Amino acid sequence: MKKLNFILIFILISTFFLYAEYPDGNKILKQIDENLYAKNMISTSQMIVHGRRGSRTMKLRSWTEGDDRSFSEYLAPPKDAGTKMLKLDDKLWIYNPSADRIIQISGHMLRQSMMGSDISYEDMMEENELTEIYTAQTVGEESFNNVSCWKLVLTAITDDAAYQTKKVWIDKEKLIPLKEERYGKSGKLLKTTEILEVVKIGKRWYPKRMIFKDVLKKGKGTEFIIDDIQFDVDIPESRFSKAALRK
């Protein structure tokens, strides 16, 4: 019995010193938020859906204010141009120009694919700061695309989180997540994200090109490319209104 107790104590002490060598996961998470999130931003981007029968490219412009307000308008291709999305707090509306209708997306509909991509409406709604949704533990070091990373496990602290757990690989130098695995409450892997290119804008590093993959779908994923982005710019209050959806 004494020998068994000694072994258990040794394992506990070894585990403590193993994790004590790594930086605090929640501090890393806070640094990521400070790097990625801004009071306001305006961006122009491309979303390339790589499906089983080929690829299609959509272009959009987005306005974001804090965590709770965003507005997006699709500019191309012609059949999608004029489609608009408005997020206010936990509510989401979509305007379909061909039907001239505004539809509120809620409940199970949030899990549906956004414009046929690997990104769901629920993913878009979870663009809050990570520290508001997860607690983090640094569990190791690992390279991704020849970049030295801290490996973090994120556990949801809110009941309405889209994913119960995330495994994230953080660039040690730039403090930006380069790879992410998203898991459901059952522990099943649902989606992956890989950042393939980053760019320095002012004092911050920001994703330039990334791939989202719904592992439950066929296809090669959805590529997201930011063509232009501006931080901390003035956005008219009228931009974040339901009236703006039909303008």
For the chain, domain boundaries: 23-246
What number of H helices and E strands is found in the chain?
A: 3, 13
In the three-class reduction of DSSP (H, G, I as helix; E, B as strand; rest coil), residue 79 is classed as coil
Predicted pLDDT at 22: 86
User: Is the pLDDT at 6 greater than 80, yes or no?
Assistant: no
**Token pair belonging to 131:** 């520290």
Least confident of 12-16, 77-81, 105-109: 12-16
Report CA dihedral (28, 64, 199, 83) to the nearest 10 degrees: 130
Contact 70, 62 (CB under 8 A): yes
More confident call, 78 vs 15: 78
CA atoms within 13 A of residue 144's CA, in its CB half-sphere: 21
| Residue 96, strand partner residues | 101
End-to-end CA distance of the chain: 76
Report CA dihedral (224, 227, 232, 234) to the nearest 10 degrees: -110
Contact 170, 148 (CB under 8 A): no
In the three-class reduction of DSSP (H, G, I as helix; E, B as strand; rest coil), residue 12 is classed as helix
pLDDT band at 60 (very low <50, low <70, confident <90, very high): very high
Q: What is the CA radius of gyration of the chain?
A: 20
Predicted pLDDT at 7: 53
User: Is the pLDDT at 19 greater than 60, yes or no?
Assistant: no
User: Is the pLDDT at 18 greater than 50, yes or no?
Assistant: no
Predicted pLDDT at 66: 86
Q: How much of the chain, in percent, has pLDDT values that exceed 70?
A: 91
**Token pair belonging to 34:** 């400070």
- In CATH, what class is 23-246? mainly beta
Q: How much of the chain, in percent, has pLDDT values that exceed 90?
A: 72
Predicted pLDDT at 32: 92
pLDDT band at 23 (very low <50, low <70, confident <90, very high): very high
**Token pair belonging to 234:** 């003035």
User: Is the pLDDT at 216 greater than 60, yes or no?
Assistant: yes
Indicate the DSSP class of residue 24: P
**pLDDT digit string, tens, across residues 110-130:** 889 999 999 999 888 776 789
**Token pair belonging to 14:** 């070894």
Q: What is the 3-state secondary structure (H, E, C) of 111-179?
A: HCECCCCCCEHHHHHCCCCHHHCEEEEEEEEEEECCEEEEEEEEEECCCCCCCCEEEEEEECCCCCEEE
